[in-house]
A = this chain, B = another copy of it.
Amino acid sequence: MIKTRVSELLGIEYPILKGGMVWVSNSRLTAAVSNAGGLGVMGIGAMDLDTFDKELRALKGMTDRPFGVSCPLIRPDYEVMLNAALERGVNIVVTSAGNPAKVNKMLLDAGVIAIHVVANVKMAKKVEDLGYHMLVAEGFEAGGHNGRDELTTFTLVPQVVDAVRIPVIAAGGIADARGMVAAFALGAEGIQMGTRFVATKESPVHENFKMAIINAGDTDTTITGRAFNDPTRVIKNDFTEKIIDAERKGVDPVKILEMIGSDRTYIGSVKGDMDNGSLMSGQVAGMIKELKSVEEVIKDIISGLAPVVNRISGTLVSRPDGGTD
């Protein structure tokens, strides 16, 4: 067990969370993360109530460990979905992409552990003031919907840690033990990973999408949606080229949104259309070279921590006799 306020509050072995990714974070992947000692978080952003019910039952059948659900507050009926989660006894809730003041009372009254995803210091302070128990500080390198301020994990995490007293979970750019140690160096007490869990055996996405992550190089992600204030990090393809070209030419955002249409993430993630789909992925895709099971991902990170810490300790910390470890 790794004891931090994050793992203790959540009742988990390792302070490693899975992001609540739309079309990815289903019951199976969520259970796999919880069973491996982390916190599985089921993304209910694209589910209707029936699907949620089925998935929640499936999830409870696959794990008796703690798990959470995640709901973006831009979803019009977020209140319906959150209420449904609370009524069904979910006791860890992650909110994102919207104003946490709309739901904090509901969550706190229900007695759940409430976590909000933030991308700048102002929102972090607000989340703390609203009574949330912890927060995820997500950097610009992260996949999917992204903060408009473009603060990176390296600069966001320590500034958030300095600004609040509640525990901070770092997200964006983390896929291995080096990243977890770096996040802790910056003051985080937990990490959240998204892209690394997309490329696992238990992940429900199309094999094409998994292989696109495995094969991606360092420069193979980009940001779409800057022009209409919804920056989203995805893998570069024909679709992103068209959108970014239109954004660059100053095409009316309404027209660009028409070009995008709906279901792009579904088309990419589930249907596996690598040319016309939107494939949410972080910059960290370039570091992910192998399809692993969720258990392998987490075990490899945990067993990799001591070597990384010992390497930096041996280099950076002098012994009293003047040598280094």
A→B interface (CB under 8 Å): 2-4, 120-122, 139-141, 149-156, 158-159, 162, 172-174, 176, 178-187, 189, 217-219, 223, 227, 248-251, 282-284, 286-287, 305-306, 308-313, 315-318, 324
Contacts and interface: CB of A to CB of B under 8 A. Distances in A.
Nearest to A174: B154
Nearest to A124: B218
16 contacts: A4-B315, A140-B152, A141-B152, A152-B172, A154-B179, A155-B284, A158-B176, A158-B287, A159-B218, A178-B185, A181-B316, A182-B182, A184-B316, A189-B315, A227-B248, A250-B250
Contacts of A309: 309, 312-313, 316-317
Q: How many copies does the complex hold?
A: 2
A152 B139 contact: yes
Contacts of A121: 217-219, 286
A183 B208 CA distance: 33
Contacts of A153: 152, 154
B317 A287 contact: no
B152 A283 contact: yes
A324 to B, nearest CB: 7
Contacts of A316: 2, 180-181, 184, 305-306, 309
Contact of A186 (B155, B179, B315): B179
B182 A155 contact: no
Contacts of A152: 139-141, 152-154, 172-173, 283
Among the interface residues A120, A149, A152, A309, which one has the most CB atoms of the partner chain B within 10 A? A152
